[in-house]
Amino acid sequence: MLEDIVNYYNYFITLFLMSAGLYIVVARGNMVKKLVGLGLFQTSVYLLYLSPGKILGGTPPILGEGFTVFANPLPHVLILTAIVVGVATLALGLALVVRINEAFGTIEETEIFENGSEVDPPEPDNKAGGL
């Protein structure tokens, strides 16, 4: 039992993070919060890839004298790419949020949809959000 927990704890937490991230994305209407949730969702995937590559008692895959057991380098490479993709998406999303805030005066999805998306809305007022 204890061994099972140790063996699958990584995956279990990964799954929890994934679901939590997805929950934020689906449930929350605030656009910045949604992007944070999306970040959580993407970040949890990194663990899914990295966990199987780890060998207990191993070292990072940098060859050198005296080491024989190395972690698998391929997941690291894939996740490096995934991190970059993640931050690129986040940055683009945030840029969109800034523009949406300027155009609609809010970053809450519900407030935008209450105005109705089929009716042509009035000119935007660029009120600065309160701190």
Partner 1 sequence: MRLDVILRIITKLLLPFMLMFALFVHFHGDFSPGGGFQAGVIIAAAVVFHALVFGLYPTQKIVPMWFAELLMPLGVAIYTGVGFLTMALGENFLGYNVLYFDPKYAQERGVIWIEVGILTTVSGTMISIFYAFAGRGRQK
Partner 2 sequence: MAAGPVEVGSFNFMDQLPALQVALPMFAATLAAVVRKGNIAWLIALMTSLSMPIIAVLLLHQTFEQGVISYEMGGWEPPIGIEYRVDTANAYVLVIISIIAAIVMPYAKRVVEADIPAEHQSYYYTMYLMCLCGLLGITITGDAFNAFVFLEISSLSTYAMIAMGRDRRALMAAYQYLIMGTVGATLYVIGVGLLYAMTGTLNFNDLSGRIADLGPQRPVLAALAFITVGLSLKIALFPLHKWLPNSYAYAPSMATVFLAATATKVAIYLLVRVYFTIYGPADIVASHDVDTLVLILSLAAMFVASFVACFQLNVERMLAFSSVAQIGYITLGISFASQTGLTGGLVHLVNHAFMKGALFMATGALMLRAGSVKLDDLAGIARKMPITMAAFVLAGLSLIGVPGTVGFVSKWYLASASFEAGQGWLAFAIMLSSLIAVIYIGRVVEVVYFREPSPAVERITKEVPVSMLLPMWLMVVACFYFGINADLTANTAASAADVFLSAIGNASTGGE
Partner 3 sequence: MSEALINMVLLTLLAAITIGVVRARNLFGVVILSGIYSFLIASVMMVLDAPDVAMTEASVGAGISTVLMLGVLYLTKTHESVPNTTSYAPFFVAAAVFAMLVYGTIDLPPFGSADQPINTHVGPDYLARAFKETGIPNVVTAVLASYRGFDTLGEAAVVFTAGIGIMMLLRRRKKAGEDGEAEK
List the x/- string, 111-130, binding to partner 1 by CB under 8 A.
---------------x-x--
CB of 66 to partner 2, least distance (A): 26
- Pick what 116 binds: partner 2, partner 1, partner 3, none; C-beta below 5 to 8 Å, kind-dependent: none
- CA angle centred on 78, ends 75 and 83, rounded to 5°: 115
CA 123 to chain centre: 34
List the x/- string, 100-119, binding to partner 3 by CB under 8 A.
-x-----xx-xx--------
Decide whether 2 or 128 has the Cβ nearer to partner 1.
Answer: 128
Length of the chain: 131
Decide whether 69 or 119 has the Cβ nearer to partner 3.
Answer: 69
Distance from C-alpha of 10 to C-alpha of 44, rounded to nearest angstrom: 10
Residues 6-28 as b/e (b if ≥16 CB within 10 A, e otherwise) read: eeeeeeeebeebbeebeebbeee
List the x/- string, 90-129, binding to partner 2 by CB under 8 A.
--xx--xx-xx--xx-------x----xx--x--x-----
